[in-house]
């Protein structure tokens, strides 16, 4: 998984998505990778499809199980509010350019 990409983003759902929506999105994306959809494809495409399926399966393994999803949300900084996950963002000021002083004119 690329740094900064969440399992939710991979499936195209928000962290507060209902379990049935997560399952539906997983199934929709997995259907695009079925064997009959890629039969006759070059080997590099088949390798990419297998890798994509591994990512989808990873997302489903984490988000498809309520206990695992809750641990993941906590580790990622998502808080639960009435069953809905909320992202907790921390603002960090941008780094000043080398030699620049904040507030200098």
Is 93 a member of any domain? Answer: no
DSSP-assigned states of every residue in 41-98 = --HHHHHHHHHHHHHHHHHHHHHSSHHHHHHHHHHHTEEEETTEEEE-----PPPPPT
Better pLDDT: 89 or 40: 40
Is 102 a member of any domain? Answer: no
As a whole number, mean pLDDT of residues 29-44 equals 86
Q: Which domain does 54 fall in, by range?
A: 7-87
- Interior angle at CA 51, CA 3 and CA 32, nearest 5: 110
Structural domains of the chain, count: 1
Q: What is the pTM of this model?
A: 0.69
Is 42 a member of any domain? Answer: yes
pLDDT for 72: 94
Distance CA(76)–CA(56), nearest Å, equals 18
Nearest to 51 by CA among 6, 7, 1: 1
**7-35 tens-digit pLDDT:** 999 999 999 999 999 999 999 999 988 87
Is 99 a member of any domain? Answer: no
**56-98 tens-digit pLDDT:** 999 999 999 999 999 999 999 887 655 555 554 444 444 444 4
Distance CA(72)–CA(48), nearest Å, equals 26
Is 104 a member of any domain? Answer: no
Is 96 a member of any domain? Answer: no
Query: Residue 75: which CATH number?
Result: 1.10.287.110
Q: How confident is the model at residue 38 (pLDDT cuts 50, 70, 90)?
A: confident
Is 45 a member of any domain? Answer: yes
- Interior angle at CA 28, CA 63 and CA 84, nearest 5: 35
Count of other CB atoms within 10 angstroms of residue 8: 24
Is 13 a member of any domain? Answer: yes
């Amino acid at each position: 998984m690329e740094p900064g990409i969440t399992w939710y983003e991979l499936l195209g759902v928000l962290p507060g998505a209902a379990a049935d929506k997560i399952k539906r999105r997983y199934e929709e994306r997995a259907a695009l990778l079925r064997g009959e959809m890629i039969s006759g494809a070059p080997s590099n495409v088949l390798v990419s499809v297998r890798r994509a399926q591994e990512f989808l399966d990873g997302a489903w393994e984490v988000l498809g199980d309520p206990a695992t999803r809750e641990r993941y949300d906590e580790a990622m900084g998502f808080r639960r509010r009435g069953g809905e996950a909320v992202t907790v963002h921390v603002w960090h000021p941008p780094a000043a350019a080398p030699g620049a002083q904040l507030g200098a004119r």
